[in-house]
Structure 1
Amino acid sequence: MSQERSVSSKNPNLDEMFSDFLYHLAVNVPDTKNTADIKKQYGHIKAILGERVARSAQFDERLRKDLIACTEAADAEEQNAWDIIEGNTMGTDCFYEGQGRLDGASCTKANGEPYTVDDKLNFLKRCHDECGIRNIEMEAPMFAALTLHCGIRAADVCVTLLNRLEGDQVKSTKAQLKDFEERPFKLVSRFIRRYIINSA
């Protein structure tokens, strides 16, 4: 590629990465770096008929308790294979800057300066310690807001692939990812079985 057509990244951290996996590009991302009051950022904002509408994004408390009650597996081997924990989910509009990652095309603070590893870790520690966040994703707020708005009981059962305080890259093998993918289905299957038995 000629010099005139090359694309330069605004993320100096990429020079230190061993791999160049780019999962998504963060485009038109709102300012998610203001952590003055993270809890006030919970919710889902969307445009309806050209107007900005903010809706609460909370899941059903009773359903959460029912799912946690199903954490006992059918056999001891499966039960001891992995932990099921409760925690809050932080939803973001993108995979990179909104989640404080250092491996995207851009990682720039509101003042235009790149954020650092320390900036990222301080943000994630506040999310973990002050808000009980144990999962970060992009889909949960919209799902929670819609189901709550429509009066449908819902919950978010997910797998946390990596500890973000230790890094940004997903290094799990294909077999591990397949196993992780099946875990929520196993838990929800237990819940459905119990629900059917108790309803009979």
Structure 2
Amino acid sequence: MYTNNQHLMKVKDRDVLLHFGLATAKDNFEDMFGDVKFVCSGGSMNRMKSLAALISKELNISSELCNLCSTDRYVLYKVGPVLTVSHGMGMPSTTIMLHEIIKLLQYAKCKDVKFFRIGTCGGLSLEPGTLIVTGTAVDYKFEPVFEQQILGKIVSTSTTFDKDLAKELLLCKDDSEKFEMVIGNTMSTNDFYEGQARLDGAFCDYTEEDKMKYLHAAYDAGVKNIEMEALCIASMMNRAGMSAAVLCVSLLDRLKGDEAATSTKDLNDWQKRPLTIVTRYIKSKLEK
């Protein structure tokens, strides 16, 4: 059981996954998704289509890439036992997707599913192009909790990821690949600009010295990278009892600047790294 919501029992035959455009009254979830073992998510719709194509090629599964969402909120592709789904940018968009993907897996009676987020981030004192696997997600105070407002109260949940899965992913990197891959704490923020101590937003009421003090405090607290989704993913996957991992490639060292001074070619190549590692992991598991 991935969801403990007893209210769903009253509507299970007429529940609607509003932002996917799927509904239990018209779609047979078990037939459509019952064999799913892996869910891969990322912010970009195009990146998720590219990942679906890569998985199709690597697993030698001949599959027409069809977006199963009938809305324009997300994309959802299925290649054999793998779903790739976009989550948009930030935790509000990601939590909506997670609620509906968890219900989808529940209605499809899937078991032992592993969840991955694949994306980009800003690193702290790491070489650009480094691939970071999140060990624990932390908030803006560097604390390992996801605080959610429910019925006017703050409810806090744990944000530690599956350490064994993170270690397995490290082993999927080939020795010939010339980039670093590390496990570390990831800070998730609710904002790309001021929330991440950038100086290049429309507003900025702090100094560069203030920025550097905050980023160094994050680094001293064990933070390796900064992005916008890992915190809620860790929380919701823990609540669902689902093994999960977040893999993000660093596009820049935030201790040296706010904008990536890298060629488009390098950026495109770096963004393929987490896709390659996850695909390699999935392939190794299916071969066994």
Fold agreement, TM-score > 0.5: yes
Identity level (%):
39
* Structure 1 position 157 matched with structure 2 position 247: yes
Aligned to 1:120: 211
Q: Distance in 1 between matches of 2:198 and 2:144?
A: 20
1:50 Cα deviation after fit:
4.2
- In structure 2, do the counterparts of structure 1 residues 105 and 42 end up closer, same or farther at CA, with 3 Å as the change threshold? farther
1:135, distance to aligned residue in structure 2 (A): 1.1
Q: What is the CA distance between 1:85 and its match in structure 2?
A: 1.7
Could you say what the CA RMSD is over the residues aligned between the two structures, in angstroms?
2.0
Q: CA separation in 1, counterparts of 2:269 and 2:173?
A: 17
More helix by share: 1
Partner residue in 1 for 2:283? 193
Among 145, 150, 155, which residue is 2:235 paired with? 145
Using the TM superposition, give the Cα deviation of residue 49 of structure 1 relative to its aligned residue in structure 2, in angstroms: 4.1
TM-score, normalised on structure 2?
A: 0.49
1:72 counterpart = 2:72: no
1:47 & 1:121 partners in 2: Cα distance?
Answer: 30
Q: Which residue of 1 aligns with 2:150?
A: 48
Q: Within 2, Cα distance between the matches of 1:50 and 1:179?
A: 45
**What pairs up with 1:10-21 in 2 under 5 angstroms?**
none
Q: Secondary structure at the match of 1:155?
A: strand
Q: Which whole-Å CA distance do the structure 2 matches of 1:71 and 1:176 have between them?
A: 19
Q: Which residue of 1 is the match for residue 221 of structure 2?
A: 131
Larger RCO (CA within 8 A; separation ≥ 6) = 1
- Work out whether residues 161 and 170 of structure 1, in 8 Å CA contact, stay in contact via their aligned partners in 2: yes
Aligned residues: 150
**Structure 1 unaligned regions, length at least 5:** 1-23, 25-36, 108-113
CA shift for structure 1 position 91: 0.5
2:148 is paired with a residue of what secondary structure?
A: strand
2:193 is matched with 96
* Structure 2 Cα separation of the partners of residues 62 and 52 of structure 1: 30
Would you tell me which structure has more strand in proportion to its own residues? 2
